[in-house]
Amino acid sequence: MLKLKNVTKVFLKNTPDEVTALSNVSLTVKEGDFITIIGSNGAGKTTLLKAIMGFCSIDSGSIELMGKDITRTPPHQRAKYMGRIAQDPGASVCAVMTIEENLAMAALRGRRRGLRIAVNSRNRAYFKEILRRLELGLEDRLSTRVGTLSGGQRQALALLMATLAKPKLLLLDEHIASLDPKTAEQVMQLTNDLVTKERLTTLMVTHNMKEAIRWGERLIMMHEGRIILDISGEEKRCLEVGDLTEKFHKVCEQEFAVDRMLLSV
């Protein structure tokens, strides 16, 4: 349902700071796939998601979604098919609006927007019900401005918003990285429930190897703008952290740098 062919993205081209964030990336994602993406700082993970969403133009290659070439489709037109949570906590919600207004806006993704029409007693009850699942007490705070919520509460709300309109593609960029361990576990369990129940096609970036191994059915490792490992099926189910570092070593012929991926194991 998603096909990237030889996608290349170079930032600051022809300057001394030139960086190839994506180098000939090809990737085919099947409908219902739940894929985790792991890689060191600067590997190109966020750029990959941004290229798919259309937030950054690509220098060469093509992107196809549900059989349609979207390489040059502007981001607002792609948005109706995609739910996402950005890496930056809070960037996926609107701080000056209330919880129910944020949810109403998310429910209308891809349709004409009008908040007065969107928040009514029927969807208010539904919002309460889905907020209750977070177990963060947000169901009793529908009129609270999102700007006053903690980072974790915002990311949890962002997850509900990203999945509310049943997107064709869910793109999660380290959405639990800034949460305390207990909230992170809760939000991750909920993510898994939503993704598996609704069979949402999902790309989830994480810097934590254990999480990348634990969730999803396919694991992709990126390094210096390339996909260097793509593991699925039985191999993915039996995978352990040691196997991953060993595979990295084999492919890249270099030791695994001590970075967030290892530190957070």
Ligand X SMILES: Nc1ncnc2c1ncn2[C@@H]1O[C@H](COP(=O)(O)OP(=O)(O)OP(=O)(O)O)[C@@H](O)[C@H]1O
Residues that bind Mg ion (CB under 5 A): 45-46, 87
**Cα(191)–Cα(83) distance, integer angstroms:** 12
- Residue 47 contact partner, candidates ligand X, Mg ion, none, CB within 5 to 8 A by sort of partner: ligand X
In whole angstroms, the minimum distance from the beta carbon of 173 to Mg ion comes to 6
Q: Which residue is nearest to Mg ion (CB)?
A: 46
In whole angstroms, the minimum distance from the beta carbon of 50 to ligand X comes to 7
Report which of 31, 35, 60 is spatially closest to residue 166, judged by C-alpha positions: 31
- Residue 44 contact partner, candidates Mg ion, ligand X, none, CB within 5 to 8 A by sort of partner: ligand X
- Residue 42 contact partner, candidates Mg ion, ligand X, none, CB within 5 to 8 A by sort of partner: ligand X
In whole angstroms, the minimum distance from the beta carbon of 175 to ligand X comes to 12
- Kindly tell me which of 101 and 174 has the beta carbon lying closer to Mg ion: 174
Residues of this chain that bind ligand X (CB under 6 A): 11-12, 19, 21, 39, 41-47, 87, 207
In whole angstroms, the minimum distance from the beta carbon of 45 to ligand X comes to 3
In whole angstroms, the minimum distance from the beta carbon of 155 to Mg ion comes to 15
- Kindly tell me which of 46 and 98 has the beta carbon lying closer to ligand X: 46
**Cα(12)–Cα(184) distance, integer angstroms:** 35
The H or E element containing residue 39 is: strand 34-39
Alpha-carbon dihedral 103, 189, 35, 157, rounded to 10 degrees: 20
**Cα(232)–Cα(31) distance, integer angstroms:** 15
- Residue 212 contact partner, candidates Mg ion, ligand X, none, CB within 5 to 8 A by sort of partner: none
- Kindly tell me which of 37 and 159 has the beta carbon lying closer to ligand X: 37
- Kindly tell me which of 39 and 152 has the beta carbon lying closer to ligand X: 39
Q: Which residues have a Cβ under 8 Å from the Cβ of 255 and sit 6 or more positions away?
A: 249
SS3 state at 79: helix
- Residue 207 contact partner, candidates Mg ion, ligand X, none, CB within 5 to 8 A by sort of partner: ligand X
Looking up tokens 């220098």 gives 59
Around Cβ 105, how many Cβ atoms within 10 Å?
Answer: 19
- Residue 12 contact partner, candidates ligand X, Mg ion, none, CB within 5 to 8 A by sort of partner: ligand X
Burial (0-12, 13-18, 19+ Cβ within 10 Å), 241: middle
